[in-house]
């Protein structure tokens, strides 16, 4: 990565010191430059900026894609824009932050003003999950599409609570609404089925929550629930408040997203039978592993008539089966379709770069399908 001059707090970088990615066209082909905006600037979007910087040459040379970062927004930073391009190095430096913008009191009004000021072509939405109703991420994505930007999210809430609305709005505006990072990080689960037109997903089962997988593995070794949770948090796998994982909400939301998109069946979270892992004891887990049938938090969905039956809960699985071999932060997903009786994907111990890669891949897919948008 090229190093830019330090960015003094409260000031824009000098024009000559700003970093414009890929503005010089290669000898052959046309380069399209896109204005990128990041809504939420925590671990995922910060890692995405690192990844974009690392792959900028490949994006330009192989895909004809260039970019400039024109907007970032978060609770800590506020609303920041520069239509000429922000300095990525300064954005990632915790000791050097630009002066935030200040626009009224309405969050939605702020988003719209921010998008307009940044002249956004693509927005990466990575705010926190709201299990109840998917807000405010739904409003963020709706505003981006109405502005005329492609919307890419790592947030599962909008898929569960507003998928069809946002999908149809994107189509009407000639933009893309993409969300590969919402399930199994950057593994191309949703785009996989885009490459298999008319295939009908009949059902699926798998392990989709890494936090519970780590906790169960540690409790099998004799740690208490609290000790196992603490270890998962120390490893950076579990959040400080891990209730969504422990109580099965994260797995249920991912299950609902898969049903909604891949099975094309609208489903409410309350329709998914859900049980977390709080009721399991170290002794029960140790005995189950000893007997060759370890516990896992398993997601299941099966098409039944015009509807679906879905569950999330702890199950004993054979230790030599694919699910039984899943350890650490790994994930597993097995599909049953009308063409392929069994189609399985395993992801081994992903990190933040996997999630960020899913968003980068969505960016490439989105702008290549609509390069002049």
- Domains, the chain, in order of start with CATH, read 15-186+353-369 (3.40.50.720), 201-349 (3.30.360.10)
> What band does 186 get if pLDDT is binned at 50, 70 and 90?
confident
> What band does 223 get if pLDDT is binned at 50, 70 and 90?
very high
> Alpha-carbon distance 342 to 169, whole Å?
34
Mean pLDDT (whole number) for 107-122: 91
Mean pLDDT (whole number) for 285-299: 97
Task: Name the percent of the chain lying above pLDDT 90.
Answer: 77
* 4 pLDDT higher than 70: no
The pLDDT assigned to 5 comes to: 33
The pLDDT assigned to 18 comes to: 35
> Alpha-carbon distance 31 to 69, whole Å?
16
The pLDDT assigned to 78 comes to: 87
- Please check whether residue 69 is in contact with residue 33, taking contact to mean a CB–CB distance below 8 angstroms: no
* 334 pLDDT higher than 80: yes
The pLDDT assigned to 157 comes to: 95
Of the given ranges (27-36, 263-272, 306-315), which has the lowest mean pLDDT?
27-36
The pLDDT assigned to 103 comes to: 63
* 258 pLDDT higher than 70: yes
The pLDDT assigned to 104 comes to: 57
* 242 pLDDT higher than 80: yes
The pLDDT assigned to 89 comes to: 84
Mean pLDDT (whole number) for 200-217: 96
Mean pLDDT (whole number) for 12-23: 36
Mean pLDDT (whole number) for 221-235: 92
The pLDDT assigned to 98 comes to: 62
The pLDDT assigned to 101 comes to: 66
Tokens of 181: 């990072």
Give 198's contacts (C-beta < 8 A, 6+ positions apart): none
Tokens of 253: 């939301």
> Alpha-carbon distance 136 to 73, whole Å?
14
The pLDDT assigned to 100 comes to: 65
> Alpha-carbon distance 360 to 348, whole Å?
20
The pLDDT assigned to 297 comes to: 98
The pLDDT assigned to 301 comes to: 98
Considering the chain, what is the average pLDDT of its residues?
Answer: 89
Of the given ranges (28-37, 156-165, 263-272), which has the lowest mean pLDDT?
28-37
Sign of the CA dihedral running 356, 359, 363, 365? positive
């Amino acid at each position: 990565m090229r190093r830019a001059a330090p960015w003094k707090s409260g000031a824009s970088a000098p024009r000559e010191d700003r970093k414009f990615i890929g503005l010089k066209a290669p000898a052959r082909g046309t380069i399209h430059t896109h204005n990128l905006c990041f809504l939420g600037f925590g671990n995922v979007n910060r890692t995405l900026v690192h990844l974009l910087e690392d792959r900028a040459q490949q994006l330009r040379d192989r895909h004809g894609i260039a970019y400039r970062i024109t907007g970032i927004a978060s609770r800590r930073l506020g609303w920041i824009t520069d239509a000429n391009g922000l300095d990525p190095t300064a954005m990632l430096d915790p000791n050097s932050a630009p002066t935030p913008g200040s626009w009224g009191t309405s969050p939605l009004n702020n988003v719209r003003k921010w998008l307009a000021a940044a002249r956004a072509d693509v927005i990466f939405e990575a705010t926190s999950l709201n299990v109840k109703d998917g807000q405010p991420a739904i409003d963020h994505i709706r505003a981006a599409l109405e502005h005329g930007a492609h919307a890419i999210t790592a947030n599962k809430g909008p898929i569960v609570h507003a998928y069809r609305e946002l999908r149809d709005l994107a189509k009407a505006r000639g933009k893309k609404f993409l969300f590969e990072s919402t399930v199994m990080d950057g593994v191309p689960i949703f785009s996989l089925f885009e490459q298999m037109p008319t295939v009908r997903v009949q059902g699926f089962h798998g392990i989709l929550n890494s936090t519970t997988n780590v906790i169960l593995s540690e409790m099998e070794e004799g740690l208490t629930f609290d000790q196992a949770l603490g270890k998962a948090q120390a490893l950076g796998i579990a959040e400080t408040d891990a209730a969504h994982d422990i109580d099965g909400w994260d797995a249920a939301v991912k299950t609902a997203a898969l049903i909604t998109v891949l099975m094309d069946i609208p489903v409410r979270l309350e329709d998914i039978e859900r049980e977390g892992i709080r009721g399991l004891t170290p002794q029960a887990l140790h005995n189950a592993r000893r007997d060759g049938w370890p516990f896992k938090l398993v997601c299941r969905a099966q098409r039944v008539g015009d509807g679906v039956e879905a569950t999330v809960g702890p199950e004993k699985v054979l230790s030599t089966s694919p699910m039984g071999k899943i350890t650490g932060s790994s994930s597993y997903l097995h599909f049953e379709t009308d063409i392929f009786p069994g189609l399985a994907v395993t992801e081994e111990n992903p990190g933040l770069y996997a999630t960020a890669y899913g968003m980068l891949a969505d960016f490439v897919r989105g702008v290549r399908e609509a390069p002049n948008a």
